[in-house]
Amino acid sequence: MAFFRLEWRASAAKELRKIDRQMIPRIVEAAEQLACEPLPPGAKKLQGTEFIYRIRVGDYRIVYEVAETAACVTIVRVRHRKEVYR
């Protein structure tokens, strides 16, 4: 099993700090699991993109990019489902 490096964009880390404190551990745990399995069941590819996916964690979405050649998963956004695609 290949392991991927997990990176957070500065903007995604900033968005994470604004989220309800009770949800932060669940979101971080789900993001860390992406390093082991970047395309878990329930991950959906975003339309119009080639390597950007999203996973659902409660009412929040983690949008991330998978770079298989560099073995890296980059967390792009973490927001409530109403705001994530704007």
Mean pLDDT of 73-81: 95
Strand partners, 57: 60
What pLDDT does 2 receive? Answer: 63
What pLDDT does 34 receive? Answer: 95
Q: Is the pLDDT of residue 1 over 60?
A: no
Mean pLDDT of 57-83: 94
What pLDDT does 85 receive? Answer: 78
Query: Residue 18 to residues 11, 39, 67, 84: CA-CA distances in angstroms?
Result: 11, 26, 27, 13
pLDDT > 90: what percent of the chain?
Answer: 88
Q: Give phi and psi for 37, each to the nearest 5.
A: -140, 95
The pLDDT mean for the chain works out to: 93
Q: Which domains does the chain have, with CATH numbers?
A: 14-80 (3.30.2310.20)
